[in-house]
Structures are given as structure tokens and as C-alpha cells.
Amino acid sequence: MDFPHTSEDTTFSNISSHRQLAQNEKNYLKKKVYKSPDDMTSVGWTIPRAFLYSREHDGRPFQLESGRQLPDVVIEYETYGSLNPDKSNAILITHALSGDAHVAGWDSTATDEYRPWRKNVPGWWDALVGPGLPFDTSRFFIICSNVLGSCYGSTGPASPNPADGGRPYGLNFPQVTVGDWVNAECALIDHLGISQLYAVAGGSLGGQQALEWAIAYPERVGKCIMLASGAKLPAQGLGFNHIANYTIQSDPQFHNGQIYSTKRVPNPIFQHGNGPDLSYYDIANRNLTSLTAARMLAHITYLSADGMDSKFGRRLQSVKLRRTQSAPQDGEEFAVHGYLQHQGESFVNRFDANSYLYIANAMDNYDASAKWGNGDLARACSRIHAEMMVAAFSSDWLYPCSESHNIVMALMQNHHPVTSVDVQSTYGHDAFLVEEEKVMRIIRAFLLTSAPSRIPVRTSTKEVRHG
């Protein structure tokens, strides 16, 4: 059967004529139909897994780049497909700010009480992961893990703090970095017995993780795919994140991060047997207006001016329930207002304000050139051995094309092969998620080129090890 569209992302088509614009508007109003779990190209029903770092390292805590340590680290992850005998076909997909490990398929653990937002939609990149798709699970073993500090199964602010009697960390959770995420991912790859990834791929903040992989662990990455990303977040993005941060922390209902109830939600991965207690704390108040506002602001940066104007313009729509004071008259509001309100309200039902702050902070502070090249991006990129693909999207103003071009130029200064793709799109930053046909073509072609092991290894590069 087909499943109804309930996802948050609304997409925009290219504008080339009045006739095309009319067709685009018609398409906008159509609900997206997802493939069912028994579709031949679906990975089907999925089960999340947990990697217990400390329990598998003789109780050793996870070392963060800040110098602090995290005990009892848990990383939630999912895999699709099978490892071949020499474990050379593994691809790691890394997620963006509000993403998770559930990149494809249908979550078999989702219920009305546990992650209900997953009941009616598949994973966030389901169109690209599966048999016969670019991330072909009949050929590759696909891995996706949730980052530290998130609220989707990995250790984060809602986890119990053993140094505080098991109460939730809240804002006592240590700051985490893109480097910490990659080190945790590397530990997971070690756990799976994989010495080298065939590829690592990600968009936006996931693209920065892919770049960090290629620089920090050059011998372990064959191919690297960066979409709608860069070596750093430009100042405009820093400014928007600062406003979101300020809005959340100034909210009296935020209570300085103490937003959790006494109720602990069990992790269904360990419902059976004598597994460890990996439950986390539920959020007491899901109606945090500051997180709603932060998401609305962020969502504007994910779109584009042309796309928003073609979809919404100054069109009015009826309002069933008056939610704001912005409607120009009773029963009506601008369509763009209603759209953003919906994005914000649905977001607070599935995300944690503390996690938002921590992940956005890691996004703000990542700068590959400063970390690895003393301010020189070419020097930082000189460490890379992987075959690189860097894709930019013309209307992206969160990570504009110039950020991708900077990486391409840095690689060229090192005489390093790179595939550079500029995709024409009016979808804005979200194009890497919604320009499915274009993204599918470039990823498929790149993954099926000559084997990454043919790229010579530079013996002068010092290997970096995780905590």
C-alpha cells in the first residue's frame, strides 16, 4: 500500500515559465506518496541498534575533544544490506542537524507513544537507499548513526548523568564537536570490524562530518561525498543560529535546560533480556514556543527566495484555529505564516531544545581550515586521500556555492582529483534532500567509478585515533 505524506519538508520546482509555474503550484499541493515497506526498492522494516562504547572498552569513558569525558556512551545506529567477506563495501551516511540514524525504511519500533512521527513516513533519505538505488543495498552495506548530543537514541542531554544521581544532564552535558561525532562513528566502524569505508556521504552538517572523516582518517575513507556543505558555516548562518540560541535560552519556560519530567522512556532495543538500562528522560512541556520560533527561523534558511515566492507569494489561506496574532483578518493568514507555524509546531513534538543548542553549537564551531591547516584550507585538505565529490546547489544561501568552491579549489591546489557539481535548483539548502532525481544521478555515477583503493596513500599523513 501507499502511505500518506506527513513529512515536514515542502519542496519547490524550477521556475522557467508561467506554464511551468502553474504546474509547480499544482505539484506543491499534491501530497507525496512514499513507497511501502514491501516495495522492491525499499529496505523494508528496520530495527535500530545500539553500540555501547564504554561497555565494549572495559568501562573506559569516551574522550571528547574538549578534554572532558562521557561515561556509558551509547550510539544508536541502523544498517542495511550485508557486508561482503572482506568488509570492503561499507558506506557511512551522516545526518544533518535534526536528522537521526533512521535514514531509510520503516521503523518497526515506532508506536503511538514511542517516536510516533515515524509511523507514517520512512527514513529521511529513503528515496536514495535501497536495492537498485544509488546507495544500493544489494551491493553496499549502509550504516547511519545518531550523533552524540542528539535526542534520537545516542547519549545526550536527556540521558541520565551518573555523576548527578542519574538525573538528566540538561545543560550539564559537555559540549560536543563534529570531531567528536566522527570519532564516535570511527569507534562504531571499528566495532563492526571495518578497516576502510568504501565511502562516507552527507549533506549540510552531515557533509561537514564527511569532510572531517576524509581529513582526520584519510587512510580509512575511499570516497567522500559532500552535499550542500562547506568547511565552515558562513557568518550569516552563525547569525541565524545565534538568534535561535538566544530565543531558546531567554524563554522562561526553558528553565535553563531543566525541561524534563520524572518519567523515563525505555529504549525498545533492550526491552528483552538482561540488557543495560538505557532509558532517557521525557520532556515535560512539548509546547516550547521558543523552539517553535527557532525552527521557523531555521526553516527559512533551508528554502530560497524564489521558491518561497513561487509557492506562497502573498496568498491568503483560511485558518481553522487561530494560533497567532499575525493573521490580517479573522479566519485568514498568509500562507507562508501557516507553513512556518506548522513546521515549528511539528518540530517541538519530536525534538529536544537542549539537543538543538548542542548540535547548532557544534555546527557553528566547526572550521576545517582552522583545525587542520592553521587557517589554510589547502593545507588542511592536503591530508585527504579519498576520491572527493563536492556538490553545491545554486539557491542555497545557508551553505552557498562559494563554500563548496573553496573546498574544490583547496583540493586542486593539492593536485587532488575532485568531482565538482553545481546543481541548478530553486529548492534552497534543502535541495540535497528534495532534488531526488538530480542527486540520485550524481551519487550513483560517483559511487560506481573506479575503486577508491586505487588512490595512492600518502605515508606522510599521521593517523588520528578516536578517544
Mean pLDDT, range 385-414, rounded to an integer: 97
Catalytic one of 95, 299, 429, 466: 429
What is the band of 331 on the pLDDT scale with cuts at 50, 70, 90? Answer: confident
Judgement on whether residues 315 and 417 belong to the same structural domain of the protein: no
| Domains: count for the chain | 2
Q: For the CA atoms of the chain, what is the radius of gyration?
A: 22
Judgement on whether residues 157 and 48 belong to the same structural domain of the protein: yes
| C-alpha to C-alpha distances, 465 to 118, 231, 264, nearest whole angstrom | 35, 21, 34
Judgement on whether residues 226 and 300 belong to the same structural domain of the protein: no
Judgement on whether residues 226 and 133 belong to the same structural domain of the protein: yes
| 19 has pLDDT over 80 | no
Does the annotation mark 396 as catalytic? yes
- pLDDT for the residue numbered 18: 38
- pLDDT for the residue numbered 276: 62
Judgement on whether residues 160 and 301 belong to the same structural domain of the protein: no
Catalytic one of 98, 204, 355, 395: 204
| 330 has pLDDT over 70 | no
At residue 44's C-alpha, the angle toward residues 41 and 47, to 5°, is 145
Mean pLDDT for the chain? 88
Does the annotation mark 429 as catalytic? yes
Look at residue 384 and tell me if it is in a domain.
yes
Tell me the residue type at 255.
H
Tell me the residue type at 32.
K
What are the grid coordinates assigned to 386, written together? 579519498
Strands, DSSP E only, in 193-259? 197-203, 221-227
Residue 91 phi, psi dihedral angles, 5° rounding: -125, 125
What are the grid coordinates assigned to 182, written together? 566522527
Which of the two residues, 276 and 345, has the higher pLDDT score? Answer: 345
| 49 has pLDDT over 80 | yes
Q: Which of 191-200, 330-339, 437-446 has the lowest mean pLDDT?
A: 330-339
- pLDDT for the residue numbered 459: 41
Look at residue 88 and tell me if it is in a domain.
yes
* Distant-in-sequence, close-in-space partners of 59: CB < 8 Å, separation ≥ 6: none
Look at residue 335 and tell me if it is in a domain.
yes
Q: Which of 105-119, 272-286, 329-343 has the lowest mean pLDDT?
A: 272-286
Kindly report the CATH number assigned to the domain that includes residue 330. 1.10.1740.110
Torsion angle, alpha carbons of 336, 340, 346, 348, to 10: -160
Kindly report the CATH number assigned to the domain that includes residue 429. 3.40.50.1820
Pairing mode of beta strands 129-130, 135-136: parallel
Judgement on whether residues 94 and 45 belong to the same structural domain of the protein: yes
Judgement on whether residues 137 and 75 belong to the same structural domain of the protein: yes
Judgement on whether residues 181 and 126 belong to the same structural domain of the protein: yes
Catalytic one of 337, 396, 404, 430: 396
Judgement on whether residues 113 and 155 belong to the same structural domain of the protein: yes
What's the domain range around 307?
Answer: 289-348
Look at residue 280 and tell me if it is in a domain.
no
Max alpha carbon distance in the chain (Å)?
70
- pLDDT for the residue numbered 274: 55
Judgement on whether residues 340 and 387 belong to the same structural domain of the protein: no
- pLDDT for the residue numbered 32: 77
DSSP state of 92: E
Sign (positive/negative) of CA torsion 17, 23, 29, 32?
Answer: negative
* Each residue's pLDDT tens digit, 348-379: 999 999 999 999 999 999 999 999 999 999 99
What is the band of 318 on the pLDDT scale with cuts at 50, 70, 90? Answer: confident
pTM of structure: 0.89
* Each residue's pLDDT tens digit, 163-218: 999 999 999 999 999 999 999 999 999 999 999 999 999 999 999 999 999 999 99
* Each residue's pLDDT tens digit, 231-284: 999 999 999 999 999 999 999 999 999 999 998 888 777 654 555 667 899 999
* Each residue's pLDDT tens digit, 3-12: 333 333 323 2
Judgement on whether residues 144 and 204 belong to the same structural domain of the protein: yes
| 21 has pLDDT over 50 | no
Look at residue 294 and tell me if it is in a domain.
yes
What are the grid coordinates assigned to 98, written together? 535534526
What are the grid coordinates assigned to 258, written together? 531543566
Of 391, 405, 393, which Cα lies nearest the Cα of 430? 393
Does the annotation mark 416 as catalytic? no
| 141 has pLDDT over 60 | yes
Look at residue 267 and tell me if it is in a domain.
no
Look at residue 181 and tell me if it is in a domain.
yes
Which of the two residues, 402 and 455, has the higher pLDDT score? Answer: 402
Query: pLDDT over 70 for what percent of the chain?
Result: 86
User: Helix, strand, coil proportions of the chain in percent (round to 5)?
Assistant: 35, 20, 45
| 457 has pLDDT over 50 | no
Spatial distance between the Cα atoms of 161 and 169, rounded to a whole number of angstroms: 5
Look at residue 103 and tell me if it is in a domain.
yes
- pLDDT for the residue numbered 77: 97
DSSP state of 64: P
Spatial distance between the Cα atoms of 110 and 193, rounded to a whole number of angstroms: 29
Judgement on whether residues 215 and 123 belong to the same structural domain of the protein: yes
Element (H, E) at 22: helix 18-29
